[in-house]
Amino acid sequence: MPRDDGAGAETARTIPKPAPSARRDLVRGLLREYRASHDPAVRDRLVDLNSDLVHFIARRFANRGEPLEDIEQVGFLGLIHAIERFDPELGNEFSTFATPTIMGEIRRYFRDRSWAVRVPRRLQENLLRVNAAAQQLTGELGRSPSISEIGERIGLEPEDVLAALEVSPAQHTVSLEAAPAGRGDEALTLGDRLGADDSNLDRVEIRALLEQAMAHLNPREREIMALRFVEELPQTEVAKRLGISQMHVSRLQRAAVEHLRREMGENVLV
């Protein structure tokens, strides 16, 4: 007789998975249902029915420096992407469709984690293609290939090849405590050579944002906004500079803010 405890109750609530042939039929039916309804409960059932596939693929990537649980979570994300994109009307087997999608998501996860600085995935993928083509061409030509030759081999414009090569240093970092190569132990470290915080940087950023937003304003409104939010002058000082009353400054500033909010959205200015 089974024990009447928490574990037994949990087992009783677990939905048993059907036999393989019955499961395939069930998955096909649920995929058609999800395609029509996009019901999250149907998607959750599909995830549960295909969880063994995720666990199987994830184990192939074990012992590569990342926890298996994290790899499985990425795999389940790939499974959900496969469910969302699968068209049951094409007559394909779902597991055949989902496998490369799950594996691709896990491979991208490892590729992203291997970079010291995060860069766009498109540039990461282009760099891999550029490096592979460069090695191939070097063997074929007996010399280092040109940028144009690499681009022609993999179907990229020279500008895209250069952009990919420029992100290569982001794969590795250098400690700020390290001394420059060839220097003695008493040499300044890289961290010592970094400049101090510049309090004007915030103002530069604000100015750039305002210049973009204020293209929608007239010259007088732009001048008032620059004095108030870039130079951070009080309204009384702005009024003196422009030779108008503080009330006029306040009215023009309010009109400019409303104009910006209409053009750029509610969060343009506080």
Long-range contacts of 215-223 (CB under 8 A, 24+ apart): 216/259, 216/260, 216/263, 216/264, 217/256, 217/259, 217/260, 220/252, 221/252, 221/255, 221/256, 221/259, 222/256
Note the pLDDT of residue 163.
84
C-alpha span between 114 and 125 (Å, rounded): 13
The rounded distance, in Å, linking the Cα atoms of 69 and 71 is 5
Residue whose pair of structure tokens reads 């405890």 in the numeric block = 5
What pLDDT is stored for residue 24 in this prediction? 83
| CATH number for the domain whose boundaries are 15-113 | 1.20.120.1810
Radius of gyration from C-alpha coordinates of the chain: 30
Domain boundaries, the chain: 15-113, 121-171, 201-264
Q: How far apart are CA 209 and CA 108, in angstroms?
A: 34
Of the candidates 255, 269, 267, 268, the residue with the CA atom closest to the CA atom of residue 217: 255
Q: Give the type of residue at 132.
A: A
**Which CATH number describes the domain made up of 201-264?**
1.10.10.10
Answer yes or no: same fold for 15-113 and 121-171.
no
Q: Which of 246, 249, 183 is nearest to 221 (CA)?
A: 249
Class of domain 121-171: mainly alpha
For 233, the token pair is 């002058």
Q: Using CB atoms within 10 Å of the CB of residue 50, give its burial: 0 to 12 exposed, 13 to 18 middle, 19+ buried.
A: buried
Cβ–Cβ < 8 Å for 71, 55: no
Task: Determine contact, residues 38/66, Cβ cutoff 8 Å.
Answer: no
pLDDT of residue 21: 72
pLDDT at 169: 60
What is the per-residue pLDDT for 9?
Answer: 41
User: Is 154 buried (19+), middle (13-18) or exposed (0-12) by CB count in 10 A?
Assistant: middle
Enter the pTM of the model. 0.41
Q: What is the pLDDT along the chain (270 residues), one digit of tens a residue?
A: 444 444 444 433 445 555 667 878 899 999 999 999 999 999 999 999 999 999 999 998 887 777 889 899 999 999 999 999 999 888 888 989 999 999 988 888 877 665 555 667 777 778 778 888 888 888 888 888 898 999 999 998 988 888 888 766 655 555 555 555 555 555 565 555 555 566 566 666 666 666 666 677 788 888 888 888 777 888 899 888 888 888 988 888 888 888 777 765 554 444
